[in-house]
């Protein structure tokens, strides 16, 4: 038993998080501080022009406006040198998570299915929303109960998740939908949908369950002084 504990401890110490920073990223420091507070991993910054992931086991792509959101959100960021390394990391089963603009980068890069389109009201939306946790069967949501309702902030103009019928069917069949927009009671409805996302989808994972994307910002509700700790379970 003691040997097992030592081995687990060594494994945890070997884990290392890297936060990718593009020109226009503006949520990187929030995410770095949240990870350092709630996670035992070392956290380092990864510059978009580099290709070395510095031995990171967990890669995070933060929110913001990479390259000013020119062309489409994430369309230029996907061409950054570091993204080839991120793709290889994901192909090898490594953990990758994109938040807001990071989610957009991952769909543009083909690491997640579907696309993020302009909000149906054609406006930038910044407010707290409710999310219903759809699955606990991922490393990202393992600390959150299925059906649990979280209050997480959003801040985006292109957050409307879209995918064709075949992709949506596969996401549902494979339990790849992480979160859906809902009301305080957990009811999924059009009124609770802030951007027109199909099936109220707020976050998904890939079929391999190692690449994750979500539009809401868990790093913005991970500190006591924000009076909201609902994001801690996602980042811990």
- List C-alpha distances in Å: 171 to 175, 185, 205, 230: 6, 24, 8, 25
- Rg (alpha carbons) of the chain, rounded to whole number: 17
Q: How far apart are CA 151 and CA 106, in angstroms?
A: 24
> Which two three-digit tokens encode residue 162?
């879209």
Q: Which residue from 111, 130, 109, 127 is spatially nearest to 119, judged by alpha carbons?
A: 127
Taking the C-alpha atoms of residue 116 and residue 198, their distance in angstroms, rounded to an integer, is 10
The residues annotated with a catalytic role in the active site are: 100, 217, 219
């Amino acid at each position: 038993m003691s040997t097992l504990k030592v081995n687990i401890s060594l494994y945890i110490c070997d884990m290392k998080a890297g936060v990718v920073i593009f020109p226009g990223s503006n949520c990187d420091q929030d995410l770095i501080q949240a990870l350092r507070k709630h996670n035992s991993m070392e956290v380092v910054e990864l510059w978009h022009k580099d290709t070395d992931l510095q031995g990171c086991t967990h890669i995070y792509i933060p929110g913001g406006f990479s390259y000013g959101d020119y062309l489409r959100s994430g369309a230029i960021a996907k061409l950054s040198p570091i993204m080839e390394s991120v793709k290889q990391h994901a192909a090898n089963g490594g953990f990758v998570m994109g938040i807001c603009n990071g989610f957009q980068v991952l769909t543009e890069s083909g690491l997640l299915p579907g696309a993020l389109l302009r909000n149906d009201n054609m406006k930038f939306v910044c407010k707290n929303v409710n999310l219903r946790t759809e699955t606990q069967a991922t490393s990202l949501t393992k600390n959150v109960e299925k059906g649990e309702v979280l209050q997480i902030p959003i801040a985006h103009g292109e957050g409307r998740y879209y995918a064709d019928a075949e992709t949506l069917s596969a996401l549902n069949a494979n339990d790849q939908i992480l979160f859906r927009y809902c009301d305080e009671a957990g009811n999924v409805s059009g009124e609770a949908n802030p951007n027109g996302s199909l099936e109220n989808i707020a976050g998904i994972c890939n079929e391999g369950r190692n690449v994750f994307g979500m539009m809401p910002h868990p790093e913005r509700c991970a500190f006591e002084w924000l009076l909201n700790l609902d994001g801690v379970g996602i980042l811990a």
